[in-house]
Structure 1
Amino acid sequence: MTQGTDGPVIETSGLTKRFGGKSAVDDVTLDVRRGEVYGFVGLNGAGKTTFMRMLVGLARPTAGSLKVLGHSRLTNPVLRRVGTTIERPAFYPGMTGRQNLSLLARYSGMGDADIDAALKTVDLADRAGDRFRTYSLGMKQRLALASALMGEPELLILDEPANGLDPSGMAAMRELIREQAARGCTVMLSSHLLGEIAQVCDRVGVLHHGRLIAVGTTAEIEAQYGARPALLVTCDDTGKAASVARDLDGVQDVSEQDGGILVYAPEDAAGALNSALVAAGITVRGIRPNERSLEDVFLEMTSDTANEGRA
């Protein structure tokens, strides 16, 4: 594997892509370090694919700059060091898996050994002689990944690589990504599933409406956005309980849940909250600190209300 510079493998500054009057990617500045697995996460339509298309020359930025493997000009010698799967796999349906890879290898100066190694890595060697149109969605995803892995690239850019995979396939994909990182490959992958991406990534960048709203380890992001304490109250009259809770000191917000309310207040407010609810004639079945999942944090981060005014 050819080594590049010691700087970031991917580096963007103010990268922007507009379609008409709409910004699909809006002033994104980030870096991906050599040897790390960087997760690019956001809801569908957040701009992840457009960003990745610019990284490999499939879309031209409207503004800003980018460097890939230390180069701002995405020439063929640079791109041959990059393996990509962007958008849905596109292969000739009447050709076999191996024939499709052979066609790609011919244009990239690679041979049969590279094809064999890639097919083995994605566990498709025994189906390489089958026509692409007979492949399941998961097999098509694996063939796309095989095409990206040919020649052991320095950088992998994977757009929703787990799409269409069953749980065992997703586990295998995580293992494969870890193996690529272990050999020194830098990996950038996108997903709309924060919980899935958190299991394999060193750092995560969260994209929302084209803007990068958070970067860090999943623990750092969870700590930053999960710091808002809340109490989950189960009771018999959620509407009345919500009204009572909103009038208490120290309560920042209240939202109704199935069979209860979520009160954004510190844990030590539980006693006063319980007393007020009981005094109002509400039957309280339980009050406990709300334990939020990583997906809950992600949904709060990407809510338009939470991001009003965020740079």
Structure 2
Amino acid sequence: MNVIEVKDLRKRLGGREILRGVSFNVGREEIYGFLGPNGAGKTTTIRTTLGLLRKDGGSVRIFGEEPGRGIFKRLGVVFEYEVLNPDWTVLENLRFVAYVRDRDMDEVEAALDTVEFSKEHWGKRFKELSKGMKRKVSLASAILHDPELLILDEPMSGLDPTAQVEVRRLLLKLRDEGKTIFFSSHNLPEVQKIADRAAIIVNGTTRAQFSLEDVEDLEKTYLTMVGGSP
């Protein structure tokens, strides 16, 4: 069974059709890249898939079910822009997440250890952290309840090269531990480095879905689909 199945997803916002027919499926224990240029509809797809926006057409199944509150017990989400409280410390933020999710407080430390977040920074306020450190804490908050599925919106956005390597290594580690990871990106090399399979979305439409092993020249394929020069 696929973890995520999206078929012909459609969504209008502000009188404009943002999603015109998005389809893809994500298998268990794989890293799936959702690739497209800025403005292609990636974030809208994620929000509609999660049920945060009401779809105007098509179908969505996560773990074989329509999106609802219950699925959030089985998945973790990190959006492009950090949502943790900037004035709370790292520990205060994650202890709050643990409380909301009815998890043990010792799982906070386990999550921070998993993302390799140095203990010397646990007492810092979130707004004092670097972009890469913030992303690690956000990932820790997403995995604290040991979800089966992670959905990440542009997880590498704004990170320096060192932080990108660290996050990339973490995602591969989580995949190898049995988690399924779906992430959006406008960065072709990042998708090439870690994805098992991927889809290309252009102007709110899925243009292709494929295994990375089966594509000889992904750069040429991608540029051709988005209207660039191969």
Q: TM-score normalised by the shorter chain: which range applies?
A: over 0.9
Map of 2:90 onto structure 1? 97
1:177 matches 2:171:
yes
Alignment of 1:173-252 (within 5 A): 173-221=167-215, 223=216, 226=217
Map of 1:163 onto structure 2? 157
Deviates more, 1:139-148 or 1:166-175: 166-175
Shift of 1:73: 4.0
Out of 302, 305, 308, the position equivalent to 2:226 is 302
Distance 1:127 1:25, change over 3 A: same
Deviates more, 1:136-145 or 1:39-48: 136-145
Shift of 1:32: 0.6
Q: Aligned to 1:45, what secondary structure does the other structure show?
A: coil
Q: Is the 8 Å Cα contact of residues 38 and 202 (structure 1) preserved in structure 2?
A: yes
For residues 225 and 138 of structure 2, the distance between their equivalents in structure 1, rounded to whole angstroms, comes to 31
For residues 87 and 171 of structure 1, the distance between their equivalents in structure 2, rounded to whole angstroms, comes to 17
Post-superposition Cα deviations, 1:124-182, rounded to whole Å, max 9, x if no partner, equal 23311101111111111111111111122100001111122222221221211111111
Q: Is the 8 Å Cα contact of residues 35 and 186 (structure 2) preserved in structure 1?
A: yes
Map of 2:132 onto structure 1? 138
Shift of 1:296: 4.5
Q: Is the 8 Å Cα contact of residues 82 and 155 (structure 1) preserved in structure 2?
A: yes
Q: What RMSD, in angstroms, separates the aligned Cα atoms of the two structures?
A: 1.8
Map of 1:53 onto structure 2? 47
Q: Is the 8 Å Cα contact of residues 78 and 155 (structure 2) preserved in structure 1?
A: yes
Alignment of 1:41-120 (within 5 A): 41-76=35-70, 78-120=71-113
Q: Which has the higher contact order (CA 8 A, sep 6+)?
A: 2
For residues 117 and 167 of structure 1, the distance between their equivalents in structure 2, rounded to whole angstroms, comes to 26
What amino acid is the match of 1:114? E
Q: Aligned to 1:64, what secondary structure does the other structure show?
A: strand
For residues 28 and 213 of structure 2, the distance between their equivalents in structure 1, rounded to whole angstroms, comes to 21
What amino acid is the match of 1:82? L
Post-superposition Cα deviations, 1:66-113, rounded to whole Å, max 9, x if no partner, equal 11112114123x211101102301122211011111112211111212
Q: Is the 8 Å Cα contact of residues 17 and 63 (structure 1) preserved in structure 2?
A: yes
For residues 152 and 122 of structure 1, the distance between their equivalents in structure 2, rounded to whole angstroms, comes to 13
For residues 179 and 149 of structure 2, the distance between their equivalents in structure 1, rounded to whole angstroms, comes to 6
For residues 162 and 86 of structure 2, the distance between their equivalents in structure 1, rounded to whole angstroms, comes to 26
Map of 2:20 onto structure 1? 26
The structure having more radius of gyration, on CA atoms, is 1
Q: How many residues align?
A: 229
Q: Aligned to 1:199, what secondary structure does the other structure show?
A: helix
After the TM superposition, which segments of 4 or more aligned residues of structure 1 sit over 4 Å from their partners?
A: none
Shift of 1:58: 1.6
Q: Is the 8 Å Cα contact of residues 34 and 42 (structure 2) preserved in structure 1?
A: yes
What amino acid is the match of 1:218? L
Task: Calculate the TM-score normalised by the size of structure 1.
Answer: 0.69
Distance 1:23 1:304, change over 3 A: farther
Q: Is the 8 Å Cα contact of residues 76 and 151 (structure 2) preserved in structure 1?
A: yes
Gaps of 5+ in 2: none
Task: Calculate the TM-score normalised by the size of structure 2.
Answer: 0.93
For residues 86 and 93 of structure 1, the distance between their equivalents in structure 2, rounded to whole angstroms, comes to 15
